[in-house]
């Protein structure tokens, strides 16, 4: 599927998808003979994953590392290789993500209070 449709489905800009490609964060599996980026459904799932990770304030390099770690873990499990280090790393990311999540909740509450405050100021207002 072409970049435009992916962008529409995931509500991301085409430029964002191209940027993620350049950064090696989400590389489309194929190219058409004419050079068009072609994404598989697996690629799209990866993009959806990234899209949900983003609001937590992670940088592109970090997200790529999370995905790489997760994939390496799957491979290690399949080949019965040691997974301890990989798991520890993912747990680290989960801990950080949980922290950021808490910070987001705080910001959200602040914003809510803020909006209420602004509205209150308006209500105490007499029009001319």
Partner DNA sequence: TTGCTCCTCACGTCACGTGAGGTGGC
Q: Which stretch binds DNA (CB under 7 A): 14-22, 41-49, 81-89, 96-104?
A: 14-22
Q: What angle do CA 12, 4, 69 make, to 5 degrees?
A: 55
Distance, in Å, from the CA atom of 7 to the CA atom of 17, rounded to the nearest integer, reads 7
Task: Report which DSSP code applies to 38.
Answer: E
Applying CB under 7 A, does 11 fall inside the site for DNA?
A: no
Closest alpha carbon to 43 in 55, 26, 59: 26
Q: Which stretch binds a second copy (CB under 8 A): 16-24, 25-33, 34-42, 84-92?
A: 84-92
Applying CB under 7 A, does 4 fall inside the site for DNA?
A: yes
Distance, in Å, from the CA atom of 36 to the CA atom of 110, rounded to the nearest integer, reads 45
The binder of 87, among a second copy, DNA, none, by C-beta within 5 to 8 A per type, is a second copy
Q: What angle do CA 50, 53, 57 make, to 5 degrees?
A: 125
Name the residues that contact a second copy, by CB under 8 A: 49, 52-53, 55-56, 70, 73, 77, 80-84, 87, 90-91, 93-94, 97-98, 100-101, 104-105, 107-108, 110-115, 118-119, 121-122, 125-128
């Amino acid at each position: 599927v072409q970049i435009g449709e992916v962008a529409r489905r995931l509500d991301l800009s085409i430029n964002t998808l191209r940027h993620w490609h350049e950064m090696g964060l989400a590389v489309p599996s194929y190219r058409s003979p004419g050079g068009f980026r072609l994404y598989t459904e697996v690629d799209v799932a990866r993009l959806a994953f990234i899209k949900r990770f983003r609001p937590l304030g992670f940088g592109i390099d970090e997200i790529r590392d999370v995905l790489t770690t997760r994939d390496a873990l799957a491979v290690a499990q399949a080949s019965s290789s040691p997974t301890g280090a990989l798991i520890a790393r993912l747990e680290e990311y989960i801990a950080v993500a949980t922290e950021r999540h808490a910070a987001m909740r705080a910001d959200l509450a602040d914003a809510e209070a803020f909006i209420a405050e602004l509205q209150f100021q308006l209500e105490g207002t007499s029009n001319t």
